[in-house]
Structures are given as structure tokens and as C-alpha cells.
Amino acid sequence: MDGERRPDLAAMMVPLGRALMAAEGPVLAEHDLSMWAYAVLHELDERPVRSQSALARAIGADKTRIIGVLDGLQRRGLIRREPDPDDRRIHLLSLTPDGRRLRDQVQAAIQAREDRLLARLPEDDRRAFLRALRTLHDVPREEIIDTDR
């Protein structure tokens, strides 16, 4: 890689990300979920109880836009929204057992599609790629956009 000319990371990752999101579309449609609804189900599993504002920040959604998504998920019995006992203005969110089951089912179907793409890589490269991707995913956004580092 030293001195090797390559495309910028965003030039490689953005088209790949768009293609992966398009591949998720049929799976989400089959389960009557929008991309935002799946993002909510996925994020709530990471941190089981949080405020609507914190959830919106975590998934990169506008907090006013996410209310309709949360309403729909709650109507379907996939999430619970309960007032915070310490501050009744804040709603705490959690997955229901049905929400967790649906999230797991959708994630398995999405990852099966991803596995077909990853199969193009030799096994050792696949493991290294996923390990590297997890490492970069965990870098705080502020560190990535801070040009002084």
C-alpha cells in the first residue's frame, strides 16, 4: 500500500454502503419495516433503555422525525415507551420480546445477504476486513472529522 494510489475511503465506501442498503430493502419490506425503524430496533438492543432524544442522536435521525417511527413500532408491540420516573417529560425506550425477535430475524436475513458478498473474500481476508471495519466503526465521529489530529 505504500505509495500505491487508491481511491479515497468515502469514494469506495459510499457506493458500497448504498448498494448494501438497497440489498436490505426487500428484507425490510418483507417485514414491513423502514430503514429508520430497523435502525431503532437495532440501536435499542445495544442500549436497552434511553430517551427519544438520545436514540435520535445515536442513529443520526432528527428527533421530531423519529416520533412517527416510534409510534408505529409501539403500535405493532415492538417497543415500549414509558415515562422516566425521574423526569416525566422524558420517555424511556425498550424492545419488547416481539421487537427483539423481529430484529434478530431481520438481521439474520440481512447478514445472509451480506455473507454472499463477503464470500468473495478468502476466509482470512474476510475476518481481517470485519475486524478492521469494527475498529473504524468504533472511532468517535469527532475524531474522524477533527482535521487537527
Q: According to the 3-state scheme, what is the secondary structure of the chain?
A: CCCCCCCCHHHHHHHHHHHHHHHHHHHHHHCCCCHHHHHHHHHHHHCCCEEHHHHHHHHCCCCCCHHHHHHHHHHCCCEEEEEECCEEEEEEEEECHHHHHHHHHHHHHHHHHHHHHHCCCCHHHHHHHHHHHHHHHCCCHHHHHCCCC
pLDDT at res. 100: 95
pLDDT for 130 beyond 90: yes
Mean pLDDT over the full length of the chain: 91
pLDDT at res. 63: 84
25-130 topology per CATH: Arc Repressor Mutant, subunit A (1.10.10)
Domain map of the chain by residue range?
25-130
Higher pLDDT: 86 or 100? It is 100
Residue 128: CB atoms within 10 A of its CB come to: 12
Say what the pTM is: 0.85
For 7-66, the pLDDT digits (tens) are: 999 999 999 999 999 999 999 999 999 999 999 999 997 666 778 888 998 898 988 889
pLDDT for 96 beyond 60: yes
- Among 27-41, 45-59, 89-103, 129-143, name the one with the lowest average pLDDT: 45-59
pLDDT at res. 2: 65
pLDDT at res. 148: 66
Q: How many Cα atoms within 13 Å fall on the side-chain side of residue 27?
A: 21
Residue 7: CB atoms within 10 A of its CB come to: 9
